[in-house]
């Protein structure tokens, strides 16, 4: 009998790490089975502890937009490592990365680098509250903004998977200023502003929500978010940790600006792609807002490893590669080709199916049409999804182990990888 090293490692892990994982969704709890322990990865593939190869559509949940081990990025990181791991003092690369980010996301005048999306989201809210002198803010059901206390209110993703609307350990007093509304619900939005408008520091929103699979904020909804914030003196905070430099070089805000002239958020939260796989995230926005931060202003925020020299080298090299002409056109074409291939295969087998994508991010649903909010996403048939998930896994295709997660294409994926994925899915659909 062959030994399943994934299982052996999982058994060992569970003795010393809660649930055997350092982030809940990795545990395969929603789909059952044994998580794959990754041994190494290259390009569009990774190999698990048994040496089995997979086409990777998670890419570390978004950062690996170039695929794994891109030579230019590896070289930049190796060079940076030799110059030192961390100094706790400013470096030129931080300035370069800040400039590179601002050049790509022009709604931001200034940016501060941190180590995780959680930190960045939490800090953006603090700036919004500090700058407006107001406490309340709006978040939308199904959007995830990291695990800071005030934001763990009916969040999606990992929490949704565990059917846990809010986390234990968060005192009710801490979330009393968090107003949770339904995504894409204009009426609730209007009502919330009528009631609380003058007390609102901000709206925080995932413009294309990737933590309830893939759900876009509709144009009228986004337009109204912007108008109401401006009218009531609240800030519009875009959480683009997932969508930033992933759906387009200019991020999701540039996608909305195509249809809503002059559209801009006041603040933006970034992560994932800007670190290229290293712990790096950022928050930024208008100058007068960012100048509220210490040491200039009264809003405190700090970090020992913020702007880490190895992480910034990785981020800079990644930004350089994704800035090359045609990058997002190629990426977007491949993503569309995957989604349309899967849709055609499902339709042929008579399975209700639809999907959507933007740039290198996609989602699909076992519904005839795209859902608009979290409640609808939650009505998905788990059993069919689990059959699809495990069928793909057996056939060497790794998608998110939960229905509430987006998927990610990288520059390293080939048309052959996509064809193989679609063929595997077609096989599973026809047996359903
Ligand atoms: C991943 C994510 C976060 C949290 O980032 P971490 O680096 O995991 O802390 C926040 N917001 C969104 C939209 C995300 O996708």
For 227-265, the pLDDT digits (tens) are 999 999 999 999 999 999 999 999 999 999 999 999 999
- Marked catalytic residue, from 136, 139, 154, 272: 272
Report the atom number in ligand 1 closest to the C-alpha of 119. 9
Kindly tell me if the per-residue pLDDT of 155 is higher than 70. no
| Active-site hit among 48, 56, 239, 266 | 239
Percent of the chain with pLDDT over 70: 97
The CATH classification number of 71-322 equals 3.40.640.10
Q: Whose CA is nearest to atom 15 of ligand 1?
A: 242
Q: Could you tell me which residues come within 8 angstroms of residue 212 by beta carbon, excluding any fewer than 6 positions away?
A: 142, 143, 156, 157, 160, 183, 373, 374, 377, 404
The radius of gyration of the chain from alpha carbons, rounded to an integer in Å, stands at 21
Cα 274 to ligand 1 centre (Å): 12
Among protein residues, the one with the nearest Cα to ligand 1's atom 11 is 145
Q: How confident is the model at residue 1 (pLDDT cuts 50, 70, 90)?
A: low
- What does pLDDT average to over the chain? 95
Q: What is the pTM of this model?
A: 0.96
Q: How many whole angstroms from 242 Cα to the centroid of ligand 1? A: 7
Q: How far, in Å, is the centroid of ligand 1 from the Cα of 64?
A: 14
Mean pLDDT, to the nearest integer, of 76-92? Answer: 98
Which of the four pLDDT bands, split at 50, 70 and 90, describes residue 318?
very high
Residues 390-407 have a mean pLDDT of: 96
Task: Indicate if 144 belongs to the active site.
Answer: yes
Q: Are 45 and 55 in contact (CB under 8 A)?
A: yes
What is the CA(76)–ligand 1 centre distance, in A? Answer: 25
Tell me what percent of the residues of the chain surpass a pLDDT of 90: 93
What is the per-residue pLDDT for 381? 86
Residue 159, pLDDT score? 41
pLDDT exceeds cutoff 90 at 387:
yes
Q: Which residues line ligand 1 (CB under 6 A)?
A: 116-118, 121, 144-146, 206, 210-211, 239, 241-242, 271, 281
Residue-wise pLDDT tens digits, 193-233: 999 999 999 999 999 999 999 999 999 999 999 999 999 99
Distance CA 280, CA 86 (A): 13
The size of the chain, in residues, is 432
Eight-state DSSP code of residue 278: B
Residue 33 confidence (pLDDT) above 70:
yes
pLDDT score, position 161: 38
Cβ-proximal residues to 245 (8 Å cutoff; 6+ apart), any chain:
65, 104, 105, 251, 270, 273, 274, 319, 322
What are the backbone dihedrals phi and psi of residue 205, each rounded to the nearest 5 degrees, phi first?
-145, 140
Cβ pair 238, 209 in contact under 8 A: no
**Who's near 261: CB < 8 A, 6+ residues apart?**
none
Nearest CA owner, ligand 1 atom 5: 117
Question: pLDDT at position 194, please?
Answer: 95
- Helices and strands in the chain: count of H runs, count of E runs: 14, 16
Structure confidence by residue, pLDDT tens digits, 37-51: 999 999 999 999 999
Do residues 189 and 228 touch, judged by C-beta distance below 8 A?
yes
Whether the pLDDT of residue 158 is over 60: the answer is no
Task: Grade residue 6 by pLDDT with cuts at 50, 70 and 90.
Answer: very high
157 has pLDDT over 70: no
Q: How confident is the model at residue 174 (pLDDT cuts 50, 70, 90)?
A: confident
Confidence tier at 418 by pLDDT (50, 70, 90): very high
Q: Which CATH class is domain 5-69+326-431?
A: alpha beta
Residue 164 has pLDDT above 80, yes or no: no
Domain positions in the chain are 5-69+326-431, 71-322
């Amino acid at each position: 009998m062959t030994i399943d090293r994934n299982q052996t490692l999982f058994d060992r892990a569970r003795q010393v790490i809660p649930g055997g994982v350092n982030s809940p969704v990795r545990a395969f709890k929603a789909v059952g089975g044994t998580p794959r322990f990754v041994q190494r990865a290259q390009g569009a593939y990774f190999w698990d502890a048994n040496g089995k190869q997979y086409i990777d559509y998670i890419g570390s949940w978004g950062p690996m937009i170039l695929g794994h081990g891109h030579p230019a990025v590896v070289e930049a990181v190796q060079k940076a490592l030799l110059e030192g791991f961390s100094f706790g003092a400013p470096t030129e690369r931080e300035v370069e990365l800040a400039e590179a980010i601002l050049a790509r996301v022009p709604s931001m005048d200034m940016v501060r680098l941190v180590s995780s999306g959680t930190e960045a989201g939490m800090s953006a809210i603090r700036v919004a509250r500090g700058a407006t002198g107001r406490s309340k803010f709006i978040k939308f059901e199904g959007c995830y903004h990291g695990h800071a206390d005030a934001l763990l209110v009916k969040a999606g993703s990992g929490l949704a998977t565990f059917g846990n609307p809010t986390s234990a350990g968060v005192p009710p007093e801490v979330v009393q200023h968090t107003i949770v509304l339904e995504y894409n619900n204009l009426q609730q939005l209007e009502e919330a502003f009528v009631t609380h408008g003058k007390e609102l520091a901000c709206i925080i929103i995932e413009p294309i929500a990737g933590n309830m699979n893939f759900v876009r904020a509709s144009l009228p909804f986004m337009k109204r978010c912007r108008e109401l914030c401006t009218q009531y003196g609240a800030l519009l905070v875009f959480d683009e940790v997932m969508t930033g430099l992933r759906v387009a070089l200019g991020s999701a805000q540039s996608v909305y600006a195509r249809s809503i002239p002059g559209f801009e958020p006041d603040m933006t939260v970034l992560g994932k792609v800007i670190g290229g796989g290293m712990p790096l995230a950022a928050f930024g926005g208008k100058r007068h807002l960012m100048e509220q931060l210490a040491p200039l202003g009264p809003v405190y925020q700090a970090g020992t490893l913020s702007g880490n020299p190895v992480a910034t080298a990785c981020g800079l090299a990644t930004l350089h590669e994704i800035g090359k002409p045609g990058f997002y056109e190629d990426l977007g074409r491949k993503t569309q080709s995957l989604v349309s291939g899967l849709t055609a295969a499902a339709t042929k087998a008579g399975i209700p199916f639809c999907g959507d994508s933007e740039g290198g991010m996609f989602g699909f649903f076992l519904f005839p049409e795209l859902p608009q909010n979290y409640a609808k996403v939650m009505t998905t048939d788990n059993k069919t999804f689990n059959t699809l998930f495990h069928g793909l896994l057996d056939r060497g295709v790794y998608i998110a182990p939960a229905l509430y997660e987006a998927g990610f294409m990288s520059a390293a994926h080939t048309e052959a990888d996509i064809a193989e994925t679609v063929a595997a899915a077609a096989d599973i659909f026809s047996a359903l």
